Chain A
Amino acid sequence: MLFRSVDEYARSGFRPRVAIVGTGPAGISLALRLQERKIPCLLVEAGRYEFSAQSQDVYRGEVIGDRYHQLHEARLRQFGGTSGHWSGWVCPLDASDFEPRSYMPHSGWPIRIGDLDPYSRAADELLQVTVHAPDRVMTDDIDFIQYRFSPPTRFGTVYRSAVEQSKSIGLLLNTPVLELVPGGDNRIESIKVSQGESATDIRVDHVCVCTGGIENSRLLLWSNTRHGGRVVPNAAALGRYWMEHPVHVLADVVTSHGYEMQFETSTPAKWYFAPSDHAKKAYSIGGAHIWMRAHQSDESYAKELWHQAMCVAPEWSNRMLKRMGKEYQCGGYIQAEFEQFPRPENRIELDQRVDALGVARTRLYWAKSEAERRTATIMTRLLGEALVKKDIGRMRMRNYLTYGTEWPLSDQAGGWHHMGGTRMSDSPATGVVDKNCKVFGMDNLYVGGSSVFATGGHASPTYNIVRLALRLGDHLGTKLSAG
């Protein structure tokens, strides 16, 4: 049910029980679940159906610390949210990701994997993934794990019709939420939305903020600033414990098995190396998924030959290549996306500068620590040892790992995965939301999305975002039906 304006919505008589701010995978999944539970809801989207550079500009911000992507490129401000440029990687968090780990400060969720498992099938359907196979063991330290792939599902395209035709889901486009407005009794009373030159309030019963892994913190921080801390009364952790999945090339490799470890080419799934639970615990490292790639997969056979030569006879090959004025690297490489330990100093703050709507822009403090270096170094060594033990190939660690020099600037930096900032916890001292994604100290304010992740594991967030959103939908469905 699309409303062309806030006025049209106000005149319609439609009275949603839940206002959902944001229409990415979290917001739309939540709305569809609430529809199943017969709870009317209103989706409020800042952007339109189509991409707009003007809309994206609101996402510009400053990054302090390690090299990182431009913030206005790392997500999409339009209907369907960042699923509009999602790559489709689907993987559940590991069971061990939810548990406290003695070697990882601030680890542990107030829920366990069993709390999300009941939502896996529904998440599969929403994300249009079908296959599944259990992980396999390679050695005590290294597993083969499966990543499945969504087509990928563009929520803005796939679910547009379902939202427009729904009688219990309302939709407002081009309606940026400027701030949450608290009333009395620890409740949000309304949301203030931009109407071009002016602003207006929309009264709400319950609110769920689903604006993404950066914007959730920004909106709550800004609302808290505007209303004397009455939106997030316990704000010690607000904006903090922000995480990414660093992505780096770890080693060069020569192997007799080819470089793409992909054993089931007929299905939309791929296999990756990963440190086992045993290895993570024994060596105090985070999770990861690791893959082999040829340096260039579309090159000529002659170039491939030289890449191989560089692996097994580097001195001779270097001499010959120099005579020809060429430069090649060893045949393949090992790349990984790995877990970042949660730390309060990695955080989102409000900048002095404001966007076109007058809202403070984002300032992101983000840096990797020695814990991530340890994870990268040890898992590389474990994989190298596994290749030797299985006689699959040989690896040479990149110099920055062998000699402890700076992280290379030429790598991808991160997986475009924004996690933390409104993390889930048992305590408001270390978190913003409780196990039901409700903001501590507030009765009707919830958060959806990867900003509630307490730890990030190595799994791409989207699948877990959807499972959490479905679970939140059930929680709200039960709460509001009873009320």
Chain B
Amino acid sequence: MSTVKAARPEQAVERRMDAQPKMGRRAVVRSVLALPLMTVAAVPWVGSAGVVIRDGWILSKAD
């Protein structure tokens, strides 16, 4: 049998319903929070002339 933890199908129903994307309730808050943190971390967010990948990060050459 597969290695997934056993559960009743009704629970599977709940998991599947949970899988549906939810409304972006706090998108604005996150956006506001993100901007000062970017500044704090001194990550420049400028238009990219090229893209580089460092340790998995997909960055602008200017980052």
Contact = CB atoms under 8 A, between A and B. Distances in A.
A396 B55 CA distance: 8
Q: How large is the interface on A (under 10, 10 to 19, 20 to 34, 35 or more residues)?
A: 35 or more
A304 B29 contact: yes
Interface stretch (A60-68, A105-113, A166-174, A231-239): A60-68
Interface in B22-51: 22-31, 33-35, 37-38, 40-41, 43, 45-48, 51
Contacts of B58: 251, 381, 384-385, 387-388, 394-397
Nearest to A258: B27
Given A56-B9, A305-B33, A260 B60 contact: no
A312 interface: yes
Contacts of B55: 396, 402
Contact of B51 (A68, A384, A412): A384
Interface in B1-28: 1-4, 6-10, 12-13, 16-17, 19-28
Contact of A256 (B12, B16, B35, B57): B35
B27 A70 contact: no
A415 to B, nearest CB: 8
Interface in A261-315: 262, 265, 270, 291, 293-294, 297, 301, 304-305, 308-309, 311-313
Determine which residue in B16, B38, B43 has the highest number of CB atoms from chain A within 10 A of its CB, and name it.
Answer: B16
Interface stretch (A32-40, A84-92, A183-191, A200-208): A84-92
Nearest to A385: B51
Contacts of A72: 9
Contacts, number: 162
Given A72-B9, A391-B46, A259 B30 contact: yes
B47 A259 contact: no
A89 B63 CA distance: 37
B24 A312 contact: no
A327 interface: no
Contacts of B7: 70, 73
Interface residues of B, number: 47
B41 A258 contact: no
A63 B2 contact: yes
A310 B47 CA distance: 23
Given A256-B35, A260-B27, A388-B48, A396 B56 contact: yes
B30 A331 contact: yes
A131 to B, nearest CB: 16
A442 B51 CA distance: 56
Interface in A54-82: 56, 60-63, 67-74, 76
Nearest to B11: A73
B20 to A, nearest CB: 5
Nearest to B6: A70
A387 B6 CA distance: 39
A322 interface: no
A79 to B, nearest CB: 15
B12 A74 contact: yes
B1 A62 contact: yes
Given A87-B16, A265-B23, A69 B40 contact: no
B47 A309 contact: no
A262 B2 contact: no
A149 interface: yes
A297 B26 contact: yes
Given A53-B8, A73-B9, A259-B24, A391 B45 contact: yes
A429 B31 CA distance: 54
A85 B27 contact: no
A368 interface: no
A389 interface: yes
A395 B55 CA distance: 11
B17 to A, nearest CB: 6
A257 interface: yes
A308 B33 contact: yes
Contacts of A402: 53, 55-56
Nearest to A413: B4
A67 B4 contact: yes
B25 A297 contact: yes
Determine which residue in A71, A311, A398 has the highest number of CB atoms from chain B within 10 A of its CB, and name it.
Answer: A311
A254 interface: yes
Given A70-B4, A70-B6, A256-B45, A394 B33 contact: no
B33 to A, nearest CB: 5
Interface of B: 1-4, 6-10, 12-13, 16-17, 19-31, 33-35, 37-38, 40-41, 43, 45-48, 51, 53, 55-60, 63
27 contacts: A53-B9, A67-B3, A68-B2, A68-B4, A69-B12, A70-B12, A87-B19, A251-B58, A254-B34, A254-B37, A254-B38, A256-B34, A257-B27, A257-B31, A258-B24, A258-B27, A258-B31, A301-B33, A305-B37, A312-B38, A381-B58, A394-B63, A396-B55, A396-B57, A396-B58, A401-B56, A402-B53
